Amino acid sequence: QVQLVESGGGLVQPGGSLRLSCRLSGRPFRRHTLGWFRQAPEKEREFVATTTWDNGTAIYADSVKGRFTISRDDAGNTVHLQMNSLKPEDTAVYYCASGPISTISVRSSRAYFSWGRGTQVTVSS
């Protein structure tokens, strides 16, 4: 059983920055991926970014590439999402998720077994 708790959301002006954190506890799969998804009102949940248990290659959605950075601390207990140059269209509830490495694309929500409750990010002037 894996528990994920997000923090760091809030209100920021366009062009600003926020850093989200997700603390992982419990017993994740040895080889797992940690990712971020987001869901805006009346829209489907969409992939944002992901990294692996060994802080391997990060993968980003095209909409955030060059603006967002995903990273994991050395202890492996916390994954961060640094969000720069934020835009109003980045407004959403951001969810942290964890799942085993498998043949399912890490861009798909089906690859993730455990989810946090989400943290609200609002980009507005």
**Are 9 and 117 spatial neighbours (Cβ–Cβ below 8 Å)?**
no
Question: Three-state DSSP class for 110?
Answer: helix
Q: 């990060």: which residue's tokens?
A: 58
pLDDT at res. 26: 87
pLDDT at 57: 80
Distance from C-alpha of 109 to C-alpha of 44, rounded to nearest angstrom: 11
Per-residue pLDDT of the chain (125 residues; tens, 9 = 90+): 889 999 999 999 999 999 999 999 887 777 888 999 999 999 999 999 999 877 778 999 999 999 999 998 877 789 999 999 999 999 999 999 999 888 889 999 999 999 999 999 999 99
pLDDT of residue 36: 97
- Of 3, 11, 4, 6, the closest CA to residue 118 belongs to 6
CB 123 within 8 A of CB 14: yes
Neighbours of 120 (CB within 10 A): 12
Residue 15's pLDDT is: 98
